[in-house]
Structure 1
Amino acid sequence: MNNLYLVDDDQAVLDSLSWMLKGLGYQPKVFLSADCFLKSINIQQPAIAILDVQMPGMDGSALLNRMTEADSPITVIMLSGHGNIAMAVQAIQKGALDFLEKPVDGDKLASLLEQASVQTEQNMHRKVTRQELLNKLATLTARELEVMDKVLEGKLNKVIAAELNIAQRTLELHRQKVMQKMQVSNIAELAFLMGKSIA
């Protein structure tokens, strides 16, 4: 089970939500501010976070932004005592899974936590896949990157060789190297790998 974090400046809310979550089988870690949360938690590790929107200092929306910019795999559920539709839409556009109003409905929260658990696994898988791809790309030389880009544009060997002002045999060797380093056996696999990473 993923780690679960609660961030809210209201101790009474933290207490009641913790009680509810423990009843659902979770062991939440609680924080009274976004700063405390950021100082204590590695946001690159998979988890679920329930964030209050309105807090002094860094609010929930700013914290969500920080996590999104850092490409954190943590799935976020936003929480507000004074929610409105615009706020909910904005939070979801920024990457939150959903938006709950206080007092929280236990059944809805339980269902959301199941979704959040699946989402966190997907986030982590995507992050690992992207890192693996970046590691492979880092092994390519500048010339191999040029060749790969042109191959992915669908250009023929002789056209690429002419554009790069190299012999066709040299180009074929570069192509071979690209395939070996990217660990693919054909252009379709390479295109799929690159396309998947951009998503």
Structure 2
Amino acid sequence: MTSILQSMESLARRAEYLQADGTVVPLGSHNGSVTGDEVKAFYQPVDGRPINYHGEEVHYGELRQFLKGVRRAGGQHVIDVTGCRKRFLGDLIALGLVDGLEDIRTFDLLAPANFKEPWRMLLHELAVAPSKAFEYVDILETRIMIDCSRAVVIRAPRLRYASLIAFALAIIGVVLNAYFGLDSEVAKWVNVLAQFATFAGLCFVFFPPRNV
């Protein structure tokens, strides 16, 4: 994190790119798509912002409780999995669906990688590319993920219970209407409850919650 903050400072104040070997590359229109002043203006909004960070080792068996704590803490957060080992992505997606974890994102470089001139893959260059060059994807909000999460909810016990309750209340309402008449207060309340259960079931289908 310290090296990242140093790189941001170098970009925002001097329009310079610090390579891994310590080489300093001055940025500008001579080796990029924007001028040095435009590079500095791009990064200055985040330069000097107070950032508190610390490293913490989380054992695999404690990962779920740890991320639940992040969610309960409230506030804005993003879980960046760009550098995450692929074997853990399925775990994080499962936690997103079951525990309501949100904003699990990965940086997706759409432009060809340029390792000879790595400064051309910085955000200020990607942002002015002729075509879309990157995307910061929420992996829980892709089209397939949304469709699959809805399918999970449809198979979930909550929806089954809501459907059974709605069906049972509807049958009871019909019986009470036939026995007591349409003006019966009891029948009216049963019908109201049946409509509410039906509405709840539809909400589970069209607005599936994450923690099913």
Q: What TM-score comes out, normalization by structure 1 length?
A: 0.37
Flag the structure with larger Rg. 2
